[in-house]
Every structure is written in C-alpha cells, then in structure tokens.
Amino acid sequence: MKVAKFGGSSLADSSAVLRVIDIIQSDPSRRVIVVSAPGKRNPDDIKITDQLSNWRTQIHLGHTGNEAMEAVYSRFFEIEKNLGVNIGIHTELLDIEERLKGGASYEYAVSRGEYLNGLLIAEALDFQFKDAADVIRVSNLEPVEHHVFTRPLKMVLKKNNLVIPGFYGQGEDSTIRTFSRGGSDITGALIASALNASEYENWTDVLGMKMVDPRIVPKAVGIPEITFQEMRELSYMGFEVFHEEAMFPVWKSNLPVHIRSTAEPNKLGTLITPNIDRAKRKYDIAGIAGKDGFTSLTFKKRLMNKEVGYVRKLLSVLERHQVSFEHIPGSIDTVSLIVESEKLTAKKDLILEEIDHECSPDSVTESQMAIISIVGIGIVRQVGIAAKIFSALSEAGVNIEMINQGSSELNVIIGVKESDLKKAIKAIYHTFVA
Ligand code: ASP
C-alpha cells in the first residue's frame, strides 16, 4: 500500500486535478491520498492558502474581504463543476465565511484549502474522506512528536481507500492546528509511517531533485537516488523539494520516499532511501547546496589552547542569548563561530560586549560568508575529492575562507565570500559532473 501526497501546484485547477486522478487510478496500490490546497496556476497567481489568510485578515480588520473571498469561491466552484461532482461546496464555503466572521483563528482559516480540496477529490475518486483534525494530533513540543490515530484509518482501509487533507490536524485543545508552510509533506510522511506503507510518494510539479539549484546551473542533472542523511544535509542548506520536517517520521521508520512529477508521471524522479549502493552512483557526489547570510566571528587569544574552558565560555554567551551556531572551526590560538546573520543581527553588539568581558580575546574579526555543502556518502574517505573541489575553486578564482570536513562522513563544508557563492557552486558542480 502506497501513500501518495499531491502538492498544490499539481492541484491548482480542475484540469490539474483530473491529471492527478488519472495518476491515482493507474496504480491500485495508491490507497491513501494526501492533498494540498490549490496552488498557483501561473507564476503571478495567488495560492488558495494565501487567499484564505488574506480573507481572514480583511474580516479581522473590519473590511469585507470580498476580493479574497471571491477568489476562494471561484476557484472551488470551478473545480467542483469540472470534476462533475457535487459535495455542496457552496454550503461549505458559507460555513467557512460564517466562522471567519465569528472570529475563527488564522490556523482554521488557512487549513480550509486542504479541507475543501480533500472533500472534492475524495468524491471524484469515490474514496472515503477522513478529516485530518480527527486523525492527527499536532504537538506543541520541541522536538515535535505528532501523533496519528491509526485505528479509524485502518477501519476504513478494510473496505475503502482514503483521502486526507494535508497541512493540519488537531491541537492539544482540539482546535485546528497547522504545520509550517508547505506542511502537507509532513502529513503524508506521518500517515505513511503510521500505516506502515510500502512507499511514500510525494508528487509535485518538478521531476525530483537536481544535483544543484537549477537557478544556478539550469541544466543540472537529476538525483535518481539519495539517502535520508544526504537529503537532510541538502535540505538544511536550502534544497526545498521536500519539507525538512517531513523527513523525520519516514526516516525513523525506514520508509522510502519517492519524489515524482505530475507533469511527467512516467519518469522516476528521486528516491530517498535509508541506504544506497555507492558503486551504482554515476557521480562521486550526491549534490551541492549553498546559502549566503552567515557571519563569521573570529576570536584570537594568545595561548588559547592552554586555557581550559575557553570555548565553553564563548558558547555560553551565545546560549544565554538563544543563538545557535552552525560551525566552529579553530586553530591553536583562534576559534571562529559561524552563525546565521539573521539570528545574530539584533543581539550582536551585546553578545560581543559580553564575550569581551568574559573571555577577553586579544582581537575579534567579523566577516560575512556564504557556506557551501558538498554532499555524498563516503566522500570524506575517498582520495582526491578535496583536491578536485579546491582546484575547481582555485581555477574559478574563488578564495576559500573556511573548510570543515571530517565530523560527518558525507559532506565537505566550504566558506566563501557571499559574492562568490554562485561562481563557486558552478565550478564545483562542473568538476564532478563535467
Ligand atoms: N497549502 C499549504 C501551503 O501553501 C500547505 C502545503 O501546500 O503543503 O503552505
């Protein structure tokens, strides 16, 4: 049994939904379907989730919110009409309108796109609709531990197939709680692992993942197979194909995730699996990700290596200000803290003052940095990988400001000037993929 989740851009209007219905019906093992709200039909369009949010905000501010409301109504009318179903969408919309006027929460409002799309698609497929609010308990805790009530789902599955709206569930107090944006991926992952599915298919409008951001290398080749750990490294550094938080439930239950495209349903996309056979991989690395927006603070102190607890003192200042660090490269008398600039900005002066007071560094230097992560299982132990990266960067005229390799077996981390980020990524990509 497969759980298949379809993203908003694959469900943006009735013709997209009809394509999805064909995909579902072409494989009888696709028995549990998780749907997003209708997304953008073109780059200038507005997602239904955003329209619902606008609608609520307008009502909240004492306006009619008619423009957003009409956008929501017309999109769902179109889908209902052209799917040839009748779920009483008008009554549903009137009910939502009523509740919004009665002060319904933001999370309730933005969850309605998934709810209505779920009702429509269940009807069109003749599958049973199950409201996510009845089967998923959204946790407030960190790290999150959401819960799926499997009994009602298994009962339905004995006789029928299921459609479940993505993106939300019930909170501790039984009100509607949503996941973070793009969170239908999380719903699919939770349901697939709770039901012990054989595979979690995650359908979007792009064909799986590319080895590097196609905005930087337009013809970047695809990644046919990748491990969870590699995927985590890449998504942490900005790969956006699969929600970062959706990784954990499927990873924990070793359940393969297949990222596929509704535009090219016959192609295979990317399979995320617990393990891969490295020998079968065409290239030495799995992918390259990079982001700018980091600050490197370098502290120098003579005989730092002899001073027990120096780094602890530095880190305890960050801890007090609730700032986490990304990397902490060092040498005998120097240590650098690499922190996301956004997290630091407002508190930087105070943090530096406290460090000055408590750690008395001889000097402090600050620079802005971009970080690139070259990811691939086993690359750290493979002879020649670092040499390839460094000569590619040197040929491209990029200076390496920081290197971090070794603590994890599967990535080499490089710091470069923010203005060199794209040039560096291109150079590294071409040295591995040609
Ligand atoms: N509709 C929600 C969003 O736009 C959730 C999702 O699409 O996964 O973020």
Q: What is the pLDDT of residue 405?
A: 77
Quick one: DSSP state of residue 127?
P
Report the candidate in 288, 351, 289, 362 with the shortest Cα–Cα distance to residue 325.
351
Assess whether the C-beta atom of 47 lies below 6 angstroms from ligand 1: yes
Give 10-residue mean pLDDT values along the chain (434 residues). 97 98 98 98 97 97 93 97 96 96 97 98 98 94 85 96 98 92 96 97 93 95 95 87 90 96 95 91 95 96 92 95 92 94 92 95 96 92 91 97 81 95 98 93
Angle at 228 between CA 215 and CA 7, to 5 degrees: 55
- HSE value, Cβ hemisphere, 13 Å, CA-based, for 74: 9
Region(s) of the chain under CATH 3.30.2130.10: 287-432
Q: Where are the beta strands (DSSP E) in 205-349?
A: 225-227, 257-261, 270-273, 287-300, 334-340
Q: What is the pLDDT of residue 130?
A: 98
Tell me how far CA of residue 339 lies from CA of 295, 313, 372, in angstroms.
Answer: 5, 16, 14
Report the candidate in 362, 70, 33 with the shortest Cα–Cα distance to residue 195.
33
Assess whether the C-beta atom of 8 lies below 6 angstroms from ligand 1: yes
- What is the bridge-based pairing of β-strands 411-416 and 400-405? antiparallel
If you measure from the C-alpha of residue 341 to the centroid of ligand 1, how many angstroms do you get, rounded to a whole number? 27
Q: What is the pLDDT of residue 354?
A: 96
From CA 31, how far away is CA 124, in angstroms rounded?
Answer: 14
Assess whether the C-beta atom of 267 lies below 6 angstroms from ligand 1: no
**Would you state the structure tokens that stand for residue 119, as one six-digit string?**
């009702």
The pTM of this model reads 0.88
Report the candidate in 183, 285, 184 with the shortest Cα–Cα distance to residue 227.
285
Q: What is the pLDDT of residue 406?
A: 60
321 touches 347 (CB < 8 A): yes
Region(s) of the chain under CATH 3.40.1160.10: 2-276
287-432 belongs to which homologous superfamily? Answer: VC0802-like (3.30.2130.10)
From CA 209, how far away is CA 226, in angstroms rounded?
Answer: 9
List all residues 6 or more positions away from 174 whose beta carbon is below 8 Å from its beta carbon.
Answer: none
Assess whether the C-beta atom of 180 lies below 6 angstroms from ligand 1: no
Assess whether the C-beta atom of 54 lies below 6 angstroms from ligand 1: no
From CA 175, how far away is CA 78, in angstroms rounded?
Answer: 29
From CA 374, how far away is CA 390, in angstroms rounded?
Answer: 12
Q: What is the pLDDT of residue 299?
A: 96
Correct CATH for 2-276 of 3.40.1160.10, 3.30.565.10, 1.10.3720.10, 3.30.420.40: 3.40.1160.10
For residue 180, give the ligand 1 atom closest to its CA.
9
- What is the bridge-based pairing of β-strands 334-340 and 287-300? antiparallel
From CA 72, how far away is CA 48, in angstroms rounded?
Answer: 6
**Would you state the structure tokens that stand for residue 244, as one six-digit string?**
């970062």
120 touches 85 (CB < 8 A): yes
